[in-house]
Structure 1
Amino acid sequence: MTSDKVMMTDSIQSVVNSSPLVSIYMPTHNRLHLLKRAIASVQNQTYENFELLIVNDASSDGTKEYLEALVKSDKRIRCFHHTASKGACVARNLAIFEAKGEYITGLDDDDEFTADRLKTLIAEYDDSYAFICHGFFWHYGAKVRKVDYKPMVISLESIFDYNFATNQIFTKTSKLQKIGGFNPEFVACQDYDTWTRMLIEYGDGLRVSGASYIIHQGHEGPRVTARENKLLGYDLFFVKYQKYMSPRNIANQQFLVLMAGRKQLPFLKLLSLLRYGFWKRKIRYFLSSQLRTVALLRQQYLKGR
């Protein structure tokens, strides 16, 4: 290697070393074909000073062997293996408390980052907020929709209407560790509960403009959260935080439960809910719940079937 090339390599390494380390936690269980895509999206980040902590929650599909080979080729990746499945929350918490980065965020094994996600979040971070977050792309299979991409300050009051923080946040590692990470008692709504505890502990959160996370809904195979678990999660969330909620919050929580259970929304109930905002979403859900055949055809269209 020539001296010029050595100097260039040293200069690039100096920039990487001077940038704060970002930790990314990722639980996985028996979804190797999807996991590979998620990992590649992290490796392709334009911001290179990161560590990826993958917790294999007792997979039996070759995940362990794949990860053991992967860590030998990429020193930014660390892996942990459960011999018995302990659930996503326990897996996330293992990674969170092993994290060495100044900042931390998460990625589900069936989703992916856009290439500029970490660079964007680092540039936008404001420590006066509990966390920052970014919008996402809802990938149906054939069609893609950008969701929750407009900037807003997320208060405790507003998050009881709807999880405006989406399913991932970006924050100081010390902050997430201080609140204890994720609560394993939640079989669903774990992110909703965790972001709420962040707001209680540290004050408002901030959603910045744009989107950089891709949620895939078009794939076949097991889902992280089944419908029954979603309903249990919302029930536990409501019991835990009802004391903080206004009548508006309670009404909007009822609507979230209706959607999670895919229950029909009666017209009179729709009218009572409309005064609490989100009228476009509520009318859209009302129509889909009344016209099941149309809703099914729409889903098939979005998935490209």
Structure 2
Amino acid sequence: MSFPPSPLVSIYITTKNREDLILRAVNSALAQTYTNIEIIIVDDASTDSTRHILEELKNNFNNISIITHTKSKGACASRNAAILKAKGKYVTGLDDDDYFLPERVSTLLEHNKETYSFICSDQYICLKEGVLSHKKSTINTLTLNEMLYSNFATNQVLVEREKIIAAGLFDEELSSCQDYDMWLRLVIKYGPGFRIQIPLIVFDQTPGRERISTNKSKIPGFELFIEKHQHIMKKPHMRAQQLRLTLAKNNKLSFLEILKYSSYRTLLRDIRIWLRGYYLK
């Protein structure tokens, strides 16, 4: 499959009641050095001033379109609506409390190959306002074996729109692990993804800000994810997944228990999670 030199890239942003943050996310998409983009924002029934902010953005920028839900449908349904509306050869997502660095889209396209099921990058983690930490990965090629241990693809990728639709879009039954599940299904269907070791997105985990990755009420989604994919997991994969689930539920394992039950592929990650408190991603 051949693409034009500068294919259209659709950036989808889902939002709900983020009047304080949505402009940061949208502005980071508008600030991309790669200019052939469209931005599709799905307002999942906001009750604050988000809707008015989005209408103003739409009036000011001809590459922004808005989908408005009058009743909340959830993140997955919102993403799927945006992807189905998208016109781009590629799609990539952005959560409303995170933001892109200016070179994200251009760098991902530069490193992309048609043989990849998707491409992603390292990320910065913001745990304190104004302080960024580079979340590095030593794994570049994201094979099925690697992805069954953990979501090494992060929460956002760049992928051909046709591929993500053919793979079934986001599973609206999952209350968490939706990104992980989607990327895993892409790898199953199309082969390995690829992660470049350059941080191109900021993942905001500022304390006090609720998101799926810190909301322990989302544990049932993690359990459903494991149940959904356990038929292709080997014992080391299951052990890694069960350890993370145990940390999510309780986080009271001893260091020796971490060493005992962790997989060699996820040991360093499990130790970091254990030291700073669990986040589900």
**Superposition TM-score, scaled by structure 2 size:** 0.91
- 1:1-305 aligned at under 5 Å gives the runs 19-142=6-129, 143-150=131-138, 152-218=140-206, 220-225=208-213, 227-274=215-262, 276-286=264-274, 288=275
- Matched to 1:29, the amino acid is K
Aligned CA RMSD, in angstroms, stands at 1.9
TM-aligned CA deviation for residue 121 of structure 1 = 0.8
TM-aligned CA deviation for residue 222 of structure 1 = 3.7
SS in 2 for 1:33: coil
TM-aligned CA deviation for residue 220 of structure 1 = 4.0
For the Cα contact (< 8 Å) 1:30–1:63, is it kept in 2? yes
Q: Please name the residue that 1:5 is paired with.
A: none
What are the Cα deviations for residues 103-156 of structure 1, in whole angstroms up to 9, with x where unaligned?
Answer: 110000000000100110111111101111111100112432111344511111
What are the Cα deviations for residues 26-61 of structure 1, in whole angstroms up to 9, with x where unaligned?
Answer: 110001111110011011111111000000000011
Unaligned runs of 5+ in 2: none
Which protein has the larger Cα radius of gyration, Structure 1 or Structure 2?
1
TM-aligned CA deviation for residue 258 of structure 1 = 2.7
TM-aligned CA deviation for residue 274 of structure 1 = 4.4
Q: Distance in 1 between matches of 2:273 and 2:154?
A: 19
For the Cα contact (< 8 Å) 1:165–1:207, is it kept in 2? yes
Q: Distance in 1 between matches of 2:169 and 2:32?
A: 25
Aligned positions, number: 273
The 1:220/1:37 distance shift into structure 2, 3 A limit, reads farther
TM-aligned CA deviation for residue 85 of structure 1 = 0.4
SS in 2 for 1:59: coil
SS in 1 for 2:24: helix
For the Cα contact (< 8 Å) 2:212–2:218, is it kept in 1? no
Q: Which has the higher helix share?
A: 1
Q: Distance in 2 between matches of 1:150 and 1:285?
A: 17
TM-aligned CA deviation for residue 272 of structure 1 = 2.0
What are the Cα deviations for residues 258-281 of structure 1, in whole angstroms up to 9, with x where unaligned?
Answer: 332352113553242245343333
For the Cα contact (< 8 Å) 2:119–2:159, is it kept in 1? yes
After the TM superposition, which parts of structure 1 deviate over 6 Å for at least 4 consecutive aligned residues? none
For the Cα contact (< 8 Å) 1:150–1:208, is it kept in 2? no
**Superposition TM-score, scaled by structure 1 size:** 0.84
For the Cα contact (< 8 Å) 1:251–1:276, is it kept in 2? no
Unaligned runs of 5+ in 1: 1-16, 289-294, 297-305
Q: Distance in 2 between matches of 1:105 and 1:123?
A: 15
For the Cα contact (< 8 Å) 1:135–1:148, is it kept in 2? yes
TM-aligned CA deviation for residue 200 of structure 1 = 1.1
Q: Please name the residue that 1:9 is paired with.
A: none
